[in-house]
Amino acid sequence: MGLKRYSRRVLATDTLTRVSWRARPRSFVALMGLYESNFIRLGWLAGRLSALTGSHRSTAAGDCDLLLIVTERSPYTSTVALSYLLPEAEGASRYPDMRLRIYHDAHLVEAQQWTAVHSQPLLKALRTRAERELDQRWARNVMLNKWLEYCVERGHRFSSRTRLKAGA
């Protein structure tokens, strides 16, 4: 079983989407609006983000399993890893293996890092076109924003029922 096809809606480039009436596309203000949108979308997927702990696995019919692991927690921020579990002959691999920082007090989610090597042409193109730090952040966070929306549309959700037991 290979990678699932993404819908046109997920792959559509929406870097020109107006995030706020004052934001210019690809500006710092628009990036902060994107972080806010990421917070809302991750909330659709995982509920109250300040209550997230442990590891979770979501299964949706016709899609790869989705794994969320809280790696760090503090009163104002959390760091989580979010990945698809892609079936392979030698076991499941994690992709795109994104590290997210949740800013609970500001209601923002930033995609800080994603896998170093991309086999998917669209993700590879996003990474190579991003020259400036702002462009790199924009590329990661647009991808996260569309991916979160896609995961919700596919039926993924994290809750107390999806929490994995320690050592699982």
Give CA–CA dist 143/21, Å, rounded. 22
CA count, 13 A, side-chain hemisphere, 69: 14
Task: Indicate whether 147 belongs to any domain.
Answer: yes
pLDDT tens digits along 66-125? 999 999 999 999 999 999 998 887 888 888 889 999 999 999 999 998 766 556 666 556
Let me know if residue 94 belongs to a domain: yes
Instruction: Specify the residue for token string 């320690």.
Output: 166
In a domain, 128, yes or no: yes
pLDDT exceeds cutoff 70 at 162: yes
**Structural domain includes residue 103:** yes
pLDDT in tens, 116-136: 655 666 655 655 665 567 788
Q: Is residue 6 part of a domain?
A: no
Q: Which residue has the tokens 């995961």?
A: 151
* Domain count within the chain: 1
